[in-house]
């Protein structure tokens, strides 16, 4: 018996199971294999334009590749375990030891079906390990399915959130132009609640970051940039009498910070330069010295805006400017 093969195989099995459990059940984001695979595929597919097929297919490709990677790791690990002993698996008819291709075949059937009986484990120890392998395969498949379906739903909700912000206005100035209005305050509070929920989904399913829309209405990143500009204009660009309630603005700013805190570091790094503050000239009735106040406020939120600019750039879109 080869102890080295058995140890290596067991290590691969544990890595696969740890990765699937950490990714699907911890609610703390992707495990090492999932994160590395996602980042690598995004680096390969996400370089093109927003309307390019590779970028549009990146999210689905990454989502499909993750359970495939788990499966291959588990399959390879158990194959090495059953290959560590020449007599671990035998032909059911002749009782001759199975060769390596037959063991790969045996492990595949064991993990994902009940087996077909032409190859069988030899001895009580290997029968027990076969049962453990079968359970691990069913366990992985179950967790993978329960992971994939909520991600697809979260992608749809991400696009819905982008559409809701777009309905307020495509730019920060367009959103701020709706003030003063009680309905704007209610809409801002509703968008802030949805964005906070999206940030939590993003923490649980980091793969959401790689689902980009090439349609202006459903692309979330530029709409978050517009929301950031709108928060600055509404708090610092308008006369005090026209500003919405501070609670509504605070909820938007906190929701943006929650989202940016989720993606910071592991998924994107801040750009070198922050976007310029939205000019007060975009407003029909700016406050006195609004440009000075906007510049100061944008400087205080410089790190957040640099990070948001990097997210917009990574999504293949431009920072929204102007009133329209």
Local confidence band at 264 (pLDDT 50, 70, 90 cut-offs): confident
* Contact assessment for residue 189 and residue 248, using Cβ atoms and an 8 Å cutoff: yes
User: What value does the mean pLDDT of the chain take?
Assistant: 88
Per-residue pLDDT of 13-50, as tens digits, reads: 999 999 999 988 887 777 889 989 988 898 888 776 66
For residue 40, the tally of other CB atoms under 10 A from its CB is: 12
Which pLDDT value is given to residue 177?
A: 87
Q: How far apart are CA 61 and CA 184, in angstroms?
A: 38
Query: How many angstroms separate the CA atoms of 225 and 271, rounded?
Result: 14
State which of 122, 145, 168 marks the end of a domain. Answer: 145
Read off the pLDDT band of 215 (50, 70, 90).
confident
Least confident of 51-55, 97-101, 127-131, 257-261: 51-55
132 and 249 together in one domain: no
User: Looking at per-residue confidence, does 12 or 116 come out higher?
Assistant: 12
Residue 68 forms part of a structural domain = yes
Question: Which residues constitute the domain of residue 172?
Answer: 153-314
- Predicted pLDDT at 189: 93
Picking from 98-107, 113-122, 134-143, 256-265, which range would have the lowest pLDDT averaged per residue?
A: 113-122
Within a domain: residue 270? yes
- Cα 260 to chain center, whole Å? 13
Q: For residue 114, what pLDDT is reported?
A: 65
Q: Is the pLDDT of residue 66 over 60?
A: yes
Q: What local confidence, expressed as pLDDT, does residue 178 receive?
A: 87
| Contact between residue 278 and residue 294 where contact means Cβ atoms under 8 Å apart | yes
| pLDDT of amino acid 73 | 96
Residues 34 and 52 in one domain: yes
b/e per residue 2-28 (b: at least 16 CB within 10 A): eeebbebbeebbebbbebbebbbeeee
Q: Are residues 227 and 296 in the same domain?
A: yes
pLDDT of res. 157: 92
Give a yes or no: residue 322 inside a domain.
Answer: no
pLDDT at 265 over 80: no
| Residues 72 and 108 reside in one and the same domain | yes
One domain for residues 141 and 166: no
Task: Clarify whether residues 176 and 310 are in a common domain.
Answer: yes
Residues 141, 15 share a domain: yes
pLDDT band per the 50, 70, 90 thresholds, residue 322: low
Query: Would residue 73 count as lying in a domain?
Result: yes
Q: What is the DSSP string of 56-88?
A: HHHHHHHHHHHHHHHHHHHHHHHHHHHHSSTTS
Of the three residues 92, 112, 145, the one that is the final residue of a domain is 145
Digit-coded pLDDT (tens) for 166-210? 999 999 999 998 888 888 999 999 999 999 999 988 888 888 888
**Across 119-145, average pLDDT:** 91
Q: What is the pLDDT of residue 1?
A: 63
Asked if residue 249 and residue 180 are part of one domain, the reply reads yes
Would 321 be classed as within a structural domain?
A: no
Domains held by the chain: number: 2
Last residue of a domain, one of 94, 120, 145: 145
Of the chain, the percentage scoring pLDDT greater than 70 comes to 95
């Amino acid at each position: 018996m080869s102890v080295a093969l058995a140890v290596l195989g067991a290590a691969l099995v544990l890595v696969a199971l740890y990765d699937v459990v950490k990714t699907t059940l911890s609610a703390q984001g992707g495990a090492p294999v999932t994160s590395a695979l996602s980042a690598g595929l995004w680096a390969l597919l996400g370089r093109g334009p927003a309307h390019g097929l590779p970028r549009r297919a990146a999210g689905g490709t990454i989502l499909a590749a993750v359970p495939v990677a788990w499966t291959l790791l588990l399959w390879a690990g158990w194959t090495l375990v059953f290959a560590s002993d020449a007599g671990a698996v035998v032909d059911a008819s002749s009782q001759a030891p199975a060769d390596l291709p037959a063991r790969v075949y045996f492990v595949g059937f064991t993990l994902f079906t009940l087996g077909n009986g032409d190859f069988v484990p030899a001895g009580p120890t290997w029968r027990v390990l076969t049962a453990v392998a079968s359970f691990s395969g069913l366990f992985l498949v179950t967790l993978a399915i329960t992971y994939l379906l909520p991600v697809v739903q979260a992608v749809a909700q991400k696009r819905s959130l982008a559409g809701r912000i777009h309905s307020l206005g495509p730019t920060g100035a367009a959103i701020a132009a709706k003030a003063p209005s009680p309905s704007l305050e209610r809409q801002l509070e509703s968008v802030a609640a949805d964005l906070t929920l999206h940030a939590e989904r993003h923490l649980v399913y980091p793969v959401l970051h790689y689902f980009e829309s090439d349609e202006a209405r459903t692309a979330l990143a530029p709409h978050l940039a517009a929301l950031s500009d709108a928060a600055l204009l509404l708090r610092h660009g308008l006369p005090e009498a026209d500003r919405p309630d501070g609670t509504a603005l605070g909820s938007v700013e906190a929701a943006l910070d929650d989202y940016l805190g989720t993606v910071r570091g592991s998924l994107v790094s801040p750009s070198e330069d922050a976007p310029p503050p939205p000019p007060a000239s975009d407003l029909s009735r700016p406050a006195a010295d609004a440009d000075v106040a906007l510049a100061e406020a944008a400087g205080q939120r410089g790190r957040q805006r640099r990070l948001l600019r990097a997210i917009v750039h990574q999504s293949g879109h431009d920072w929204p400017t102007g009133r329209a």
